[in-house]
Chain A
């Protein structure tokens, strides 16, 4: 080539090399719904009630309702109050959201009657700081928490177990796994459950799978809750996902009928990513999802774009829209597991900025989840944070005095639970006649970082073992028995206590988690009571002492030593 390239400045070259420029950014295309939250193509708010029934919703007459409109009108919106609520000016509702002298209950009394377009109209008035103020008050559970991922690039059950144990010890209230090879699911789900109960009794686990299989594992008591029950904001994309609001409502009841906690999943960008946003903004469609979830009677929602974060992330104002969708879930009284769970940016600065609107005000689960394995092993295709970031996360919590659900743990304690989780799984597999876990693998697991640090397993044998778990109908109770027989009494007891929770149904209530003494903590007995400075959840006392600890802190008493 003889063409001369224009000369770049040294500064341009340096900026070109910055990680942020590896991220993808695209132009808005509002006609196709490639726009975050401000689009001329979104409908104007309206509602009309006749004979106790909503006959017009956001400018559309009942005869023209698609199934989302129908479901939202008939199940989500409070017909008694909707006309009064819709008459309240949007700016007044937005102010109620941030005014600490207006209680959460007072806000809910209004939001129960709002249509999707009206909710959009309200949150469009709010900047990110106001969205955070709203979240601080509207989050359902008073105490924030966090969720972790434990997966393996080789679907190695042993890795999933030990990283679950470490994650549970570090503080995750829920742990989630998924697979590269779906047929591995039964073994990996068992490993997650056992590892979690070694790390900290009462941690809830789930395995993200196709709906029917996920339900089956739950019914058997191998997993404790479910979350990957996807819903979408347009009828066509919902149908592409092979579901409808009615099938998903039925599924919600099916889970509850087995005493299993469940939340739906949705997020901005999914409809446009699946090619049919019907020309509506990402946030408008997400608000329809939130109200659909509300109407189904499911206790909570995982949202915050989730697996589509690269789409709003590439749009102007996209991360503000993502913060707003979390707020919308909370302001209609749903548990919100608020995303931050997918690789988001090459830039560490951008990754951190993205999670501030959830970490600072606190949400029911700040991440849904945080990768408890190195991102290379994360089978959700990477999270916004992984094991490399543990110390950064802990430091940010300590700097800002905010509770992001994790804490620093000394290495000796970590090695101990990793080793114990590995041995428990080894014993369990042997007891259940599943593929053998060797002592060499246990040793590797104790000290490993990622899947490459483990001896390779015989995948075909493992897959046969996984199939036999299904064929033999192995249940959570079988796991309890096997753990007890092999001498892992405390692990068996923890798992039995989690299973026993099903009988009471307490974990079915909004935002429920289990404390370390197995007490259900939900938006009933731990309802968010924020009412301005000095109220609501405050990071103090024993918990604050825990969070003051880091890997390296110079001792005040003896500056030649460190405390940890």
Chain B
């Protein structure tokens, strides 16, 4: 990717020795609902204190994993984690709809650009937005936009 994601606000200096974070750096981990990993106990589940959202990954955590991936020279993996960090904000159904819209001949150029705009403005997801814009450009060149009769 050419477009780089905005760096997380405080960028911890993580390296291979910090992995696995679930063992070595629990202090950095929070659920999207703000709970520490240690709060996700069976007692809490039985008490009904844990909801499905507590078992999701937080965008900040994906940024941490991106830093780790970069520290071991895996820039593409890191870029994937940064796109993923952005997508945590997008509801499941909408993620699936966006994926389906990116299938060949599923969308017009305008439809793809609307998705990109939506990602950028509504979800503050510039890296994902750029990926969709790039797709729109390539699809146009390779005749993979939706055809009229479809």
Q: Point out residues on A near B: beta carbons under 8 Å.
A: 66-67, 70-71, 74-76, 105, 108, 211-212, 215-216, 219-221, 235, 238-239, 242-244, 246-247, 249-259, 294-299, 333, 475-477, 480-481, 484-485, 489, 492-493, 496, 499-506, 508-510, 519-520, 522-525, 527
* CA gap between A134 and B84 in the complex, in Å: 33
CB of B103 within 8 A of CB of A510, answer no
Q: Which secondary structure dominates chain A's binding surface? A: helix
Is there a chain A Cβ closer than 8 Å to B142's Cβ? yes
Q: Are A256 and B21 in contact (CB under 8 A)?
A: no
* Between-chain CB contacts (< 8 Å), 22 pairs: A66-B142, A239-B104, A243-B103, A244-B104, A244-B138, A246-B131, A249-B80, A254-B87, A255-B84, A258-B56, A298-B80, A477-B50, A492-B42, A502-B55, A503-B58, A504-B22, A504-B29, A505-B64, A510-B77, A519-B20, A525-B16, A527-B16
Identify A67's interface contact among B64, B79, B99, B138, CB under 8 A.
B138
Do B131 and A502 have beta carbons less than 8 Å apart? no
Closest residue on chain A to residue B69 by CB atoms: A509
| B7 close to chain A: CB less than 8 A | no
Q: Which residues of chain B are within 8 angstroms of A251 by Cβ–Cβ distance?
A: 99
Are A76 and B61 interface neighbours, CB within 8 A? no
Q: Answer yes or no: B113 CB below 8 A from chain A CBs.
A: no
Smallest CB-CB A-B distances: 3 pairs = A297-B80, A256-B84, A259-B57
- Number of B residues, CB within 8 Å of A: 64
B104:A243 contact, CB within 8 angstroms: yes
Q: A235-B142, A504-B20, A506-B22 given as contacts; is B80 within 8 A of A250 (CB)?
A: no
Q: Are A221 and B99 in contact (CB-based, < 8 A)?
A: no
Residues 48-80 of chain B: 1 if any A CB is under 8 Å from the residue's CB, otherwise 0? Answer: 001110111110011011001100111011111
Bound-state Cα–Cα, A519 to B62, Å: 19
Contact B84 A253 (CB under 8 A): yes
- Binary flags per residue of B71-97, CB closer than 8 Å to A gives 1, else 0: 011101111110111111010100110
Does B37 sit at the interface, judged by CB under 8 A?
yes
A329 to nearest B CB, angstroms?
Answer: 14
Q: How far apart sit A295 and B142, CA to CA, in the bound complex (Å)?
A: 19
Out of B42, B73, B76, B84, which one reaches A76, CB within 8 Å? Answer: B76
Of B40, B64, B72, B138, which contacts A246 at CB under 8 A?
B138
Among candidates B16, B55, B83, residue contacting A253 with C-beta atoms closer than 8 Å: B83
Chain B residue with Cβ nearest A247: B102
Cβ-defined contact, A505 with B65, below 8 A: yes
Q: Chain A residues near B37 (CB, 8 Å)?
A: 500, 503-504
B100 within 8 A of A: yes
- Given known contacts A257-B85, A297-B78, A481-B46, is B55 in contact with A250 (CB within 8 Å)? no
In the bound complex, do residue A522 and residue B104 qualify as a contact, i.e. CB atoms below 8 Å apart? Answer: no
**Chain B residues in the interface with A (C-beta under 8 A):** 1-2, 16, 19-23, 29, 31, 37, 40, 42, 45-46, 50-52, 54-58, 61-62, 64-65, 68-69, 72-74, 76-81, 83-88, 90, 92, 95-96, 98-100, 102-105, 128, 131-132, 134-135, 138-139, 142, 144
B79 near A297 (CB under 8 angstroms)? yes
B42 touches A496 (CB 8 A): yes
Measured between C-beta atoms, what is the minimum distance from A137 to chain B in Å? 16
The smallest beta-carbon distance between A213 and chain B, in angstroms, is 10
Note all chain B residues with C-beta closer than 8 A to A239.
104-105, 144
In Å, the complex CA distance between A468 and B96 comes to 21
Nearest CB of chain B from residue A193's CB, rounded to whole Å: 14
Bound complex: CA A253 to CA B128 (Å) = 9
Closest beta carbon of chain B to A57's beta carbon, Å: 15
- Contact in complex: A503, B55 (CB < 8 Å): yes
Q: How far is the CB of A19 from chain B (nearest CB, A)?
A: 42
Partner of B20, one of A244, A253, A255, A506: A506
Give the distance in Å from the alpha carbon of A224 to the alpha carbon of B16 in the complex. Answer: 24
- A510 with B102: CB separation less than 8 A: no
Asked whether A249 lies within 8 Å of B22 as measured between CB atoms, the reply is: no
The minimal Cβ–Cβ distance linking B78 to chain A, given in whole angstroms, is: 7
* B82 → chain A closest CB, angstroms: 9
Q: Which residues from B are CB-within-8-Å of A519?
A: 20, 23
Tell me the bound Cα distance from A251 to B65 in angstroms: 18
The CA-CA distance from A489 to B45 in the complex, in Å, is 12
Chain B residues contacting A71 (CB-CB under 8 Å) are 138
Instruction: Known A481-B46, A496-B42; judge A295-B76 contact (CB<8 A).
Output: yes
Interface pair A75/B76, CB less than 8 Å apart? yes
Kindly provide the distance from the CB of A218 to the nearest chain B CB, expressed in whole angstroms.
10
- With beta carbons under 8 angstroms apart, the residue of B72, B77, B88, B132 that contacts A257 is B88
Q: CA separation between A508 and B134, bound complex, in Å?
A: 25
Q: Which residues of chain A are within 8 angstroms of B1 by Cβ–Cβ distance? A: 75
B102 contacts A246, CB within 8 Å?
Answer: yes
Contact indicator A244/B139 (Cβ below 8 Å): yes
Q: How far is the CB of B109 from chain A (nearest CB, A)?
A: 14
Measured CA separation A259–B65 after assembly (Å): 11
Task: Given contacts A296-B80, A298-B80, list 20 more A-B pairs with CB under 8 A.
Answer: A105-B73, A212-B100, A215-B96, A247-B99, A253-B87, A254-B96, A254-B99, A257-B57, A297-B76, A333-B74, A484-B46, A500-B22, A502-B57, A503-B29, A504-B29, A505-B21, A505-B57, A509-B69, A520-B20, A525-B16
A481 touches B80 (CB 8 A): no
Across the interface, B72 reaches (CB within 8 A) one of A297, A508, A524, namely A524
**Which A residues are CB-close (under 8 A) to B57?**
257-259, 502-505
